[in-house]
Amino acid sequence: MRAAILWSHRCPGAAELLADPARGRIWDLVCAVSSEEEPAEGDVARFRAADIRVVCLPIRPFYRLHGRALSDLSLRRNYAEQVAARLAPFHPDLLLLSSYIYVATPALLGATGDCVVNIHGSDLTRKGSDGRPKYLGLRAVADAIFAGEPETRATAHWVTEEVDMGPPILRSRAFPVSPLVPAALARDDRKAVKAYAYAHQEWMLSEAWGPLWKQVIRRVAAGHAVPERARWPARRTDARSDLDARLWPIAAAEPSA
């Protein structure tokens, strides 16, 4: 299975993906695309050292060229079409969104036949009274912490047109929230909680993204939890035997025997 990765400023989990013994055996990373003018040098160097083609398609200059605000989603389709065009020569079967901070439009989802996976910084299986996941969007970790949640988890999920609403595949282990937070909330010290939330999110990015990516891509390559619209033939492997103990699989996404 051929995978491509799309990221913005930095690409959490890239080191573990590249070090996965299954890479080159049951799956391969064929290119890495950044949406920024100056992506993290460490990630760029890491991909190039692994002989992975790195492509930069800066989204902000694209919008400036057209005289439009970055929030204008009507132009996002045109940008996504450019990304899809750059991905096409590599023939990816699966697209991974690793800290890609922009809305994915149908043109982007179509680049791999709608086989796109994202990692979101909250437990998408936890629903609010409206039946939707409780914490959506880029502020999910901070929102959960400010809401007094005792722990957070990240979720790998299939990407759909509705942001952060695609079917979950796996979620990470729990990341306990420090007891310092309830005390800060009690005294309304929002500045301290905001600083903690940033550090907590960095902890999650460092320790959750890599294991999630590695296990998700192995499951997809083996044909587990793959949507019916997937366009490549499923290849069963022994990937189930070495599932990372740090992960808490979602029951509905457990691979079949």
CB 77 within 8 A of CB 188: no
Q: What is the pLDDT of residue 57?
A: 93
Q: pTM of the prediction?
A: 0.85
* CATH fold of 2-123+154-173+211-236: Rossmann fold (3.40.50)
Cβ neighbours of residue 96 closer than 8 Å, sequence gap 6 or more: 3, 4, 5, 6, 116, 117, 118, 213, 217
Q: Give the residue among 27, 9, 7 at the shortest CA–CA distance from 220.
A: 27
List phi, psi (to 5°) of 73.
-75, -15
Q: What is the pLDDT of residue 236?
A: 34
- Below-70 pLDDT ranges, the chain: 224-257
